[in-house]
Amino acid sequence: MIELGEMQKLEVIRTTKIGAFLNTEYGRDQEDILLPMNQVPQGIEIGDEIEVFVYKDSEDRMIATMKKPKITMGEFALLEVVDNSKIGAFMDWGLEKDLLLPFKEQTYEVEKDGSYLVGLYIDKSSRLCATMDIYKLLSTESPYKENDRVNGTIYQINEDMGAFVAVNNKYSGLIPKKEFYGEYKCGDSVEVRIKKVREDGKLELSLRKEAYNQMDDDAIMILDRLASNGGKLALNDNSRPEDINAELKMSKSAFKRAVGKLLKERKIKITEQGIETV
């Protein structure tokens, strides 16, 4: 069966002035599809098998191309918006006909020249389209274990839950709100640690290292902030978590661990106003 949106090997059934017509090796369950003449390899003969990508042209006809697009079915990719229209945004996926991202598949407003993480799906009219709603498309069968370091792309931020991440642009992950520190936006690439692999296969992530490793980095950050602030910071054990996060982009527990380390090393002291360098 000819698969829309996938790279596949098809057999040359016949050739004409406009190109080569292709179909599956066994059976003829669909009409032959055209590989335009400007893409037909030299010396191709009837019966030869060639690898092509199948999509629909501007007239909604099935067509083949030798080009591999930037995204195929089952994959996710950051694609650039090249135009906005009344029906949605058009994205560059490496083919002559741009890929439509319908309005209903946009999880937030997109802008021309911006790049967005999308998946590929077939709509009710049997056309290939892009979607930003990739949560349900991401795999939960990752090869990772606790404390592995991986890369991912933030594709949605929820103020109550945290940041949803496509780990390696393939697997479902979440940075919980309590672990989500720093200035990030949708589309940003992040390096994260696998904090937990849940029973359902989804990944709980952290932007921070294991506590015993992160403590050294946090201590350095506090010293740097003290140095740039005249040697004083109005933060201590009684400070609100929100204030610590706003100033240092870390949790209160991480702050207390790092302060304890610096006190032990006699690099800071605690005063009524906060902490100071020694």
User: Which pLDDT tens digits describe the chain residue by residue (278 residues)?
Assistant: 899 999 999 999 999 999 999 999 765 667 899 999 999 999 999 999 999 999 998 888 899 999 999 999 999 999 999 999 999 999 999 998 999 999 999 999 999 999 999 999 999 988 999 999 999 899 999 999 998 999 999 999 998 999 999 999 999 999 998 888 778 899 899 999 999 999 999 999 988 765 555 667 778 888 888 899 898 899 988 888 888 888 887 778 888 888 888 888 888 888 888 898 98
Query: Angle at Cα 116 formed by Cα 82 and Cα 106, nearest 5°?
Result: 90
Contact (Cβ atoms closer than 8 angstroms) between residue 44 and residue 16: no
CATH of domain 7-65: 2.40.50.140
Q: What kind of architecture, by CATH, is found in domain 144-206? A: Beta Barrel (2.40)
**DSSP alpha helices (H): ranges in the chain?**
211-228, 241-248, 252-264
pTM: predicted TM-score of the whole model, two decimal places: 0.71
Distance CA 197, CA 208 (A): 16
CATH of the domain spanning 76-135, picked from 3.90.850.10, 2.40.50.140, 3.40.718.10, 2.60.40.1510: 2.40.50.140
Residue whose entry in the numeric block shows the structure tokens 């946090």 = 218
Closest C-alpha among 190, 188, 189, 187 to residue 110: 187
Amino acid code (one letter) for 10: L
Distance CA 87, CA 209 (A): 44
Residues carrying CATH 2.40.50.140, the chain: 7-65, 76-135, 144-206
Look at domain 211-277 and name its CATH class.
mainly alpha
